[in-house]
Amino acid sequence: MKNLWRHGLALLGLLLSLTTWAGEPPKSVRIAIVAFTQGGVPVFGGIPGRVIEDGWLAQQLAQRGISLDWVALPHAGAGPQINEGFSNDSLDFAVRGDLPSVIAGAGNVPGKLVVPGGSGNNVYLVVPANSSARSIQDLKGKRLALHRGRPWEFAFSNFLVSQELQLSDFKIANLNPQVGAAAVSAGKVDAAVLLNEAYALEDKGVARILWSTKQGADDWRLVSDLWATDRFVEQHADLTQLVATAWVKAAWWISQEQNRDAYYKLSSRAGVAESVLRRDDQDDPVAWQARWAPKSDAQLKAHYQALARYALDNRLIRTPYDIGPDLATGFTRQALSDLQLTHYWPSLDAQLSQH
The per-residue pLDDT for range 296-324, each reduced to its tens digit, is 999 999 999 999 999 999 999 999 999 99
Sign of CA dihedral 255, 256, 260, 262: negative
Domain 9-120+223-354 has CATH 3.40.190.10: yes
Residues 6+ away with beta carbon under 8 Å from 212: 122, 123, 124, 125, 198
> Coil, helix or strand for 148?
coil
> Where residue 291 falls among pLDDT bands split at 50, 70, 90?
very high
Q: Say yes or no: do domains 9-120+223-354 and 124-220 share a fold.
A: yes
Domain ranges of the chain: 9-120+223-354, 124-220
Q: Inform me whether the pLDDT recorded for 13 exceeds 50.
A: no
Q: How many CB atoms lie within 10 A of CB 160?
A: 16
* pLDDT mean across residues, the chain: 89
Q: How confident is the model at residue 3 (pLDDT cuts 50, 70, 90)?
A: very low
Give the pLDDT confidence of 43-92 residue by residue, as tens digits.
899 999 999 999 999 999 999 999 999 999 987 778 889 999 999 999 99
**CATH code assigned to 124-220:** 3.40.190.10
Least confident of 72-76, 133-137, 198-202, 275-279: 72-76
Sequence letter at residue 213: T
pLDDT in tens, 167-217: 999 999 999 888 999 999 999 999 999 999 999 999 999 999 999 999 987
pLDDT at 14 over 50: no
Predicted confidence at residue 352, as pLDDT, reads 67
